[in-house]
Amino acid sequence: MSHMFDTVTVVGVGLLGGSLGLGLKKRGEAKTIRGVGRREESLNKALAGGSIDEAFTEIDAAVDGADLVVLCTPAALVPTFLDSIRPLCRSSCVITDVASTKASICRHAADTWDAPRRFVGSHPMAGSEKFGPEHGDANLYEGAITFIEDADGLDPEAVERVTQLWQLLGSETVRITPEVHDTLAARTSHVPHIVAAALAQLTDTGDDLRAFVGQGFRDTTRIAEGRPEIWRDICLTNSEAIGGSLAEIIDKLQQATEAINTGDGDRLDRFFQDGLSARRKILDNRPKEDTPNTKTGNDSQ
Amino acid sequence: MSHMFDTVTVVGVGLLGGSLGLGLKKRGEAKTIRGVGRREESLNKALAGGSIDEAFTEIDAAVDGADLVVLCTPAALVPTFLDSIRPLCRSSCVITDVASTKASICRHAADTWDAPRRFVGSHPMAGSEKFGPEHGDANLYEGAITFIEDADGLDPEAVERVTQLWQLLGSETVRITPEVHDTLAARTSHVPHIVAAALAQLTDTGDDLRAFVGQGFRDTTRIAEGRPEIWRDICLTNSEAIGGSLAEIIDKLQQATEAINTGDGDRLDRFFQDGLSARRKILDNRPKEDTPNTKTGNDSQ
């Protein structure tokens, strides 16, 4: 039986790493999946759930002889792991990651690896507020967009292999420079997460607000359930773009405050109309089908 | 056949008014539903969909002889309609509304009606980003919490009738003073709507951001699809509480910005942990069952 990959090493066996392992095995595209983790408990869950075949707590042995290494750790750890594995991987090995920020990681890789570089950054836009390998899903990447680094000095064959990896898992791949990726992701993903956390915090008063929680609150704050350490790292590794977009949204909220304080109904009308139009524009023009909205429940107003 | 209400007049035949009519008729609790609207088109849709039996463009004839009047107009119009109908309703008539802000409406009613007052404010926490009577749903209020005004000078029988109305439509009723209602709703509903509109606006750049839109963006901005005039009115009629909560969230976002600018990982960790804890606290302790989350799709990170 021919596999696309012989030995795949997944560093970090959480939801993303576990789902990657399950997805490759389900499709018969990897002979052996090795998982690397610090905690025995996660490794045992990953072994039990079938997302990895072999468990390692040390990176050295885990990447030895691998033909694909995927770093599924929080973003801030990726550069350190790249430094560790660079001298250990065989020359034919392809390396990628799944971090939600790309510029600082890819810059580090470009600064430390000789061209043609066989580390090619990836960002699959997939995940969930659940975490841990026990929530792994062989189809997690199905239908998701995966961004793949576009830069000078990359090994074309490595780019091809990384592209194949995500496509065989069902992703639509999009090449993009790390800098543009981070600037745009700040607007549509990173800042919304920060805002969701702030909205959730607003309810932490001495009052009993439980009766006031409707579907609107649930939806606007759902992503506040993400893992704090993941979002901390995203903020730290994309600080400039996030800072810029945060300043923009603070300005918009200050404008809304001013319109409210002055009782300016026309300005408030435009504020809500602008939000509505912007959302419809970005969703209606989307190239792929809209995710079916299964929500028919009540909406808090 | 005995009905709880003989003639019910619904002023404003949008989603909320239309659903009210359908809900009463489905349960056999109203003999006749009269609908009042400015636009013939909406009235015809409501007649065709069965949410009203008779259509009126003038309020005077519509409330004549009614035993229940429900104002389903945007919040800012409620006081004007109250002034119009006060001299027209017969003494046994009970009046309520469905506006999402209560203090300014109930204050106006208390200032202009003699005690015992037969207008009792309501706020059913139900709705949808869809609008218009064609989306009316006889079960829209099923399982929703409906707040009912708690104040001095109300006619106890009117309070009882209004409570029965919402309970027979499937709502759980909660008595609350209009001021407390508005303060708490600002935090869990009004400010999230303003923030959702601002988040959606962030995507209105010259860039093509379509590939960057994941489930996280969809969820955090879904309520930005609400009707601008409804949300304008909510802002105008609850300006003080909304202004206070907006100032709080702006402060939180400025704190996050400072933590990002200074690279303070511990502070960012706490920021996201605080959001996560606050959300879990308010949802886990909820008295009623959580709305089933049917979303299993991918989540943008």
Measured distance CA(B25)–CA(B36) in Å, rounded = 17
* Residue A263 with chain B: CB contacts under 8 Å: 236, 239
Q: For residue A8, what is the DSSP state?
A: E
- Does the pTM surpass 0.95? The reply is no
Q: Name the residue among B140, B205, B232 with its Cβ closest to that of A272.
A: B232
* Residue A207 with chain B: CB contacts under 8 Å: 184
- Can you read off the two tokens belonging to residue A40? 């025995």
Res. B125: pLDDT tops 80: yes
Is B300's CB within 8 Å of A246's CB?
A: no
Query: Dihedral, CA atoms, A44, A46, A51, A53, nearest 10 degrees?
Result: -20
* Residue A283 with chain B: CB contacts under 8 Å: 213, 218
Which of B102, B209, B279 to probe by mutation at the A interface, max A CB count within 10 Å? Answer: B279
pLDDT for residue B287: 45
By CA distance, what is A300's nearest residue in B? B125
Res. A286: pLDDT tops 60: no
The secondary structure of chain A in percent helix, strand, coil, rounded to multiples of 5, reads 50, 15, 35
> Can you tell me the mean pLDDT for A44-59?
96
Res. A50: pLDDT tops 50: yes
pLDDT for residue B128: 66
Res. A251: pLDDT tops 70: yes
Measured distance CA(A53)–CA(A298) in Å, rounded = 45
Q: Taking CA A299 as the corner, what is the angle to CA A298 and CA A300, rounded to the nearest 5 degrees?
A: 125
Calculate what percentage of chain B has a pLDDT beyond 90: 84
By CA distance, what is A238's nearest residue in B? B260
> Can you tell me the mean pLDDT for A274-297?
64
Chain A: closest CA distance from residue B64 (Å): 31
Calculate what percentage of chain A has a pLDDT beyond 90: 84
Taking only the tens place, the pLDDT of each residue in A18-27 is 999 999 999 9
* Strand segments (E) across A135-266: 145-149, 172-176
Chain B: closest CA distance from residue A1 (Å): 31
pLDDT for residue B126: 87
pLDDT for residue A134: 80
Is A239's CB within 8 Å of B253's CB?
A: no
Q: Taking CA B186 as the corner, what is the angle to CA B182 and CA B188, rounded to the nearest 5 degrees?
A: 120
pLDDT for residue A231: 94
Which of A16, A148, A202 to probe by mutation at the B interface, max B CB count within 10 Å? Answer: A202
pLDDT for residue B13: 94
Res. B292: pLDDT tops 50: no
CA distances to A76, A263, B185, B227, B232 from B181, in Å: 43, 21, 6, 22, 18
CB contact set of B212 (below 8 Å; sequence gap of 6+): A125, A184, A185, A187, A188, A189, B300
Taking only the tens place, the pLDDT of each residue in B183-202 is 999 999 999 999 999 999 99
Q: Smallest Cα–Cα separation from B205: which of A145, A282, A241?
A: A282
CB contact set of A275 (below 8 Å; sequence gap of 6+): B196, B197, B198, B199, B200, B201, B221, B224
Measured distance CA(B26)–CA(B33) in Å, rounded = 12
The B54-56 sheet, strands edge to edge: B54-56, B30-36, B5-11, B68-71, B94-97
Q: Name the residue among B198, B230, B278 with its Cβ closest to that of A249.
A: B198
- Domains of chain B (ranges; CATH) run 5-176 (3.40.50.720), 181-284 (1.10.3660.10)
Taking only the tens place, the pLDDT of each residue in B251-289 is 999 999 999 999 999 999 999 999 999 999 999 755 443
Is B301's CB within 8 Å of A226's CB?
A: yes
Taking only the tens place, the pLDDT of each residue in B126-180 is 876 667 778 889 999 999 999 999 999 999 999 999 999 999 999 999 999 999 9
Taking only the tens place, the pLDDT of each residue in A69-106 is 999 998 999 999 999 999 999 999 999 999 999 999 99
Is B212's CB within 8 Å of A273's CB?
A: no
Angle formed by the axes of helices B239-261 and B191-201, nearest 10°? 50
